[in-house]
Amino acid sequence: MKKYRKLIRTVLFALLLAFVFRSYLFASYIVDGESMEPTLYDGNLLMVNKVVYDWQEVNRHDVIVFHANETEDYVKRVIGVGGDSIEFKNDTLFVNGQAVDESYLDPLRPNDGKLFTDDFTLNEVTGVNQVPEGHIFVMGDNRRDSLDSRYFGFVEVDTIVGKVDVRYWPFSQVALQF
C-alpha cells in the first residue's frame, strides 16, 4: 500500500508539473500552410516558448507565433523591429541600409530567373519609413506564397504568443532553435 501511495504522489506531481509547463511556459502549435517552407512545413508540430520575451527583446530572424486575429495564430519570421527601415532590392534584404544574410531561404529559392522576394520599401507597403516602436514586421520564408506584413501591416509586440523553440513532429524533422 505504501508503494502505491508513493507512485500516486509521483504521478500527480508529474501531472501538475506538466500542467504548469503547458499552461504558463510553453504552448504547442501545428503549422497550417506553406508560408514558412523550407523552415517549417504544413503539419509540423511546434513547441513555443511563451515566456522568453518576458526576459529579452524580440530579435530579427526569430520565428514567432502571434495572434493574427481573434481566431487565428500565424507563425512567421521577424524581419524588422521598432525603428528599423526595411527594403528588398534584387532579392536582398536591407535593414537600416545594411544587407542582411538570409541563407535559411536558400533551399527554397527556385532557379527560374525570377525574384524570390519582389522589390519593395517599407514605405511602399505600409506608408511609413520605419517600423513603429512596439511593433514588428514579419514575413514567411516562402516569400512567393506568404500572407505577411506586406499585406496586413505591422504586428503589435503584445500579440506575440512566443518564440518557436522546437519542431517535434514529425520525428524525422526534429529541430531546435530556428
Tell me the per-residue pLDDT of 143-166, one tens digit each, with 9 for 90 and over: 988 999 999 999 999 999 999 988
Residue 20: inside a domain: no
More confident residue, 11 or 74: 74
Choosing from 35, 50, 146, 163, the catalytic residue is 35
- Sign of the dihedral through C-alpha 99, 117, 122, 46: negative
- 23 as an active site residue: the answer is no
Is the pLDDT at 27 greater than 70, yes or no?
A: yes
- 35 as an active site residue: the answer is yes
Residue 23: inside a domain: no
CA 60 to chain CA centroid, nearest Å: 10
Residue 167: inside a domain: yes
Query: Residue 122 has what pLDDT?
Result: 94
Residue 21: inside a domain: no
Tally the domains of the chain.
Answer: 1
Q: Are 75 and 160 in contact (CB under 8 A)?
A: no
Query: Residue 153 has what pLDDT?
Result: 95
More confident residue, 20 or 116: 116
Residues 6+ away with beta carbon under 8 Å from 111: none
Residue 102 domain boundaries: 28-176
Residue 15: inside a domain: no
pLDDT (tens digit per residue) in 86-140:
999 999 999 999 999 998 888 878 788 788 899 999 999 999 999 999 999 999 9
Residue 117: inside a domain: yes
CATH number for the domain that contains residue 87 = 2.10.109.10
Query: Residue 87 has what pLDDT?
Result: 97
Choosing from 3, 6, 50, 76, the catalytic residue is 76
Q: Which residues of 114-137 are buried (b: 16+ CB within 10 A; e: fewer)?
A: eebbeeeebeebbeeebbeeebbb
Residue 7: inside a domain: no
Confidence label for 177 from pLDDT (cuts 50, 70 and 90) = low
